[in-house]
Amino acid sequence: MNAVDTLAAGRRRRALRRRAVVLTLAVLVAAGFAVTLMVGQRFHPPSDVIRVIMGEQVPGASFTVGRLRLPRAVLAVAAGFSFGLGGVTFQTMLRNPLASPDVIGITSGASAAAAVAIVTLSLDGPSVSLLAIGCALLVALLVYGLAFRNGVAGTRLILVGIGMYAILNSVTSYVLSQAAEWDLQEAMRWLTGSLNGTTWSEVVPVLAALAVLTPVLLSRSRDLSAMRLGDDTAGALGVHVERTRVTVVVAAVGLIAFATAAAGPIAFVAFLSGPIAARLAGAGGSLLVPAGLVGALLVVVADFAGQFAFAARYPVGVVTGVLGAPYLVYLIVRTHRAGRVRGW
């Protein structure tokens, strides 16, 4: 077998592995989604769940499944996919697995805005969500603008983002320290990341954002993959680097903002999804869809575990935070020792 045949065989193996990973993740997400609809304080068989989804009235199941579990499960999948897709976009564009919206201040902007809205302005519901979305977009624009010097270097943007993250967390802490007890409880529930009490009015905007922005990111997947080689190399390959960067930043921030507004800043999902997808799918090729599916699976499983795996019930953000914090330390140590993380 000559070198060309060996190269082609390697590409086929990688493509087959990637398709197998995507299919497996999709099946796992579907299975987790089904389990969350069936299992709870009362078990409902698949036949009842399907009838409810089809619009039939099923005594007991119509309320429990249709009004309580179904919006929560749909938001878990939609928000998880949004966090995973948005997170891996930043990590790929900046060629650094630490460049997550959690780390560079975007979700912190949404959190600070929500804290101010709830505690200082006494807002609730859609008003908090809209303010959180607007502030997340504004923070992303500010970080990008401060990091721009004849282009945007990945390291510079990360450092500016970390500084913004610290400032915004300080704002959030100060606002919470001034909050009345009832406002503090509501703010902390939102800031932790929770799917409790999800309604369709919260789900629909996230689904709409996914429908509009996911095709934008997928259409730029080849350009993103080229940017992993560096801006100069990507430009030599015909990629309009700054145009691509602005497009994917706006799309990724939009996904993160809408998901955060609906479910709160569910900790570490955007950060974890990309590296896990890279491990599963291997090097080469786009990680957008695998990372989105990993994010959806993380949120679905973490939410189910928070409800039923422990003596007390915990919001989904608490569970993902317990999983993500040790991995962040591990990734920082490994990156420092090796200079990079495999698959990036």
Domains delineated in the chain: 68-338 (1.10.3470.10)
Whole-number pLDDT of residue 152: 62
Whole-number pLDDT of residue 7: 64
Kindly give the parts of the chain with pLDDT less than 50. 341-343
Q: Do 112 and 89 touch, CB atoms closer than 8 A?
A: no
List b or e across 246-280, with b for residues whose CB sees 16 or more CB atoms inside 10 angstroms: ebbbbbbbbbbbbbbbbbbbbbbbbbbbbbbbbeb
> How far is residue 142's CA from residue 153's CA, in Å, rounded to a whole number?
15
Q: Report, in angstroms and rounded to the nearest whole number, the Rg of the chain calculated over CA atoms.
A: 21
Inter-CA distances, 171 with 109, 115, 117, 143, 211, Å:
10, 9, 12, 17, 33
Q: Do 254 and 213 touch, CB atoms closer than 8 A?
A: yes
**If you ran DSSP here, which 8-state letter would residue 69 be given?**
I
Q: Do 198 and 206 touch, CB atoms closer than 8 A?
A: no
* Through-space distance between the first and last CA atoms of the chain, rounded to whole angstroms: 29
**Structure token digits, residue 24:** 């497996």
Inter-CA distances, 259 with 58, 86, 206, Å:
31, 10, 6
